[in-house]
Amino acid sequence: MKIVLTLSAIVVALFLITGCPEEDTEAPKVSMVKPDTTLTDTVTLKAYATDNKGVSKVEFYSDVDTVAIGEDTEAESDSLYSINWDTKAGVPASLDSVVTVKLWAKAYDEAGNVGVSDTVEATVDNTGK
């Protein structure tokens, strides 16, 4: 009994010394950079993303597509993530009409927490191209 107690005390002591691994439950913060009001051809979409432990990737979405339209895993300076988006390929029927799209970004950290940005609106105009 004494040995068990001693071992327990050692385990507890080691636990206190090394510290328990801290679980990351804090989601990244992400915000879209407002794109130009009118988008044409291939455009660059940008978002700022930060996290307490580090952002692993940022995905970009539009409301005319069900899957991400692109992702960036490496920030440029100042936590800025970006993709190039071909609006001609990305927006159906944009060749003969002007389409208003909603755009947003999702940021992930290593623990799988997800932050979602506010939505920004832009007009895609590839008419006559």
Strand partners, 56: none
- Is residue 34 a contact residue for Ca ion (CB under 5 A)? no
Which residue, 52 or 123, is less far from Ca ion as judged by CB?
52
**Cβ-contact 37, 124 below 8 angstroms:** no
- Is residue 115 a contact residue for Ca ion (CB under 5 A)? no
* Residue in the shown chain whose Cβ atom is closest to Ca ion: 109
Q: Scanning residues 41 to 80, which ones bind Ca ion (CB under 5 A)?
A: 51-53
**Cβ-contact 113, 101 below 8 angstroms:** no
Tell me the closest approach of the beta carbon of residue 45 to Ca ion, in angstroms: 23
- Is residue 26 a contact residue for Ca ion (CB under 5 A)? yes
Of the ranges 60-68, 84-92, 108-116, 119-127, which one interacts with Ca ion (CB under 5 A)?
108-116
Beta strands in the chain (DSSP E): 29-32, 38-39, 42-50, 55-62, 70-72, 80-86, 98-109, 114-116, 120-125
The full length of the chain comes to 129
Chain residues that interact with Ca ion, rule: CB under 5 A? 24, 26, 51-53, 109, 113
